[in-house]
Every structure is written in structure tokens, then in C-alpha cells.
Amino acid sequence: MTITLKLADTPTHAQTRRAIADLSLSVAKNKRIIVITGAGISCSCGIPDFRSSDGLYNLVKQQYPDVVLKGRDLFDASLFRDGISTSVFYTFISKLKQSIDVATPSPTHRFIKTLDTKKKLLRSYTQNIDGLEERVGLMGSSSSSAKTVGKGKTKIRTRDVRNVQLHGDIHSVRCMSCSAEYPCTSDHLAMFLQGTAPDCPECASRLEARVARSARAIRVGTLRPAIVLYDETHPLGDDIGTIQSADVARKPDLLIIMGTSLKVHGLRKMVKEFA
């Protein structure tokens, strides 16, 4: 059964007050809470909605007036098949990152942190790429502090991760050839803003070393935002699957979903497993 509450009616509507009181009691009573969030929890943080008429995508269209792309197209892996759509994507990401950098976490982010502080949060899972959870003290799966490198492969310390970033993190860049990752800097953003991608320092270093010993040259890859687009495999997918399986086995006693319409199939499947 779905119950819709108008929070503005809380002072005068007894049924709304009772429903909110019941929700508060559930949060107070339960001790293994899973939180799943989407873009809706960040809209109040000053991050423009790319779907709105005055959103970021509208600003990007000013730079590329002849390009026709839907908002969702900017988050689909197929965009890399076309040079123009790739340039639009890089410009869009640069503007989005600049908006995120000046945003502040919302009361919702602080609520999730409070659950963690009170030892009630089993785990937070988010579709968001803004990393605002990290700013309130929830270590994310994309955080460099959560990662270890062994035998040439990056893994995450699953026990330390409090917020699983299902779509990656906009604050990092990743090489499209060798998968090396770096923090996203102002220099990267400046190039992305112009619709171009920086060369990978790791690839460039390998090329220089090979040339010095007269070995065959290798291709230097380019850096892209380290976010996971539609129809892309998550680089940390195996670790995230391990975390999710462990959380399901611990039998969560409360599932809180905020800011998402659950239109993505994978997220709906996750909700069913936790429920």
C-alpha cells in the first residue's frame, strides 16, 4: 500500500502527523537500516537539474546549438561512439562538476550520517555522483581512502565503505586505456569545458619509457570522468556485489528510499532483494 503525505499539511492534518510519527518510531526502533537515494536528495543543495528548462543541459546547448541530445543521452555509454556527443558530454560534466563543488550537503545527507553515528545504518547506496555523502563523513566506495591495489587490480575495503556509489564519482577521472585514476583538477575541468579530454599521465610515462629503450610505441589514452554511464560495467562491480550480498545476509530491518523514481532496472532489483 502506498501512502502519499503532504508535509505542508502536517500542522493541521492529524493523519499526516500520525504517519510521520510512525515513520519516526520505525527509525528509532530499527538497528539495521539500508538507505537508497537518488538525485532528488541533492536538488536542494544548489545542483541544477539537467532536465529542467534552465538546467545545465540548457547551458550546454548554448555552446552546441546544432546538437540534438536528450538529457538521458548524456549519461549513456553510446555517446563515446561519436566525437561531437563526446565533446558535449565533457562540457556538460565540467559545468556539473563546478556546480557540485560549491554545493553544500542537505539535511537528508546529514540524516543519513546521523543514522551511521548512532550505529543504525547498515549501509547507504546512492545513484548520485556528487560525493556529498563523503562531505558529511560517510566513506564512499569511490574514495581513494577505501581502495587498495594488489596484483595490478584495484579493490575496495568493503568493511570501511559506508556509502556505495552505484554510478561512480565525478571528483575523479579515469584513463580509457589503462584505467589509471586521478583526482579531477581544475586543469582537467578547463579541457573538459572546451569539449576535449586530457592525456593520461600513466600512459604518457609508459610511452616515454618504451621510446627510451627503443621498444614499440603504445597508444596514450585519454582521461574521462570516473562515473558509470548507462550500459557500462562498474569497475568495482564485483566488490559492490560482495557488499550487497553481505548486507542482504544481515537481514535489514528497515529500508528507506529517497529521491529516486526507481526507473533503473538494476536499482529496482536491488530494492526487491533488500525488501
Active centre residues (catalytic): 167
What is the C-alpha separation between 72 and 63, in angstroms, rounded? 18
Q: Is 264 exposed, middle or buried (0-12, 13-18, 19+ CB in 10 A)?
A: middle
**Residue 181 dihedral angles phi and psi, to the nearest 5°:** -115, 145
Provide the 8-state DSSP code for 219: P
**Angstrom distances, CA of residue 129 to CA of 19, 47, 154, 254, 269:** 32, 11, 19, 24, 20
What is the C-alpha separation between 56 and 90, in angstroms, rounded? 12
- All three cell numbers of 163, joined, read 556509502
Beta strands in 47-152 (DSSP E): 121-126, 147-150
Beta strands in 102-238 (DSSP E): 121-126, 147-150, 153-156, 163-165, 168-175, 181-183, 223-227
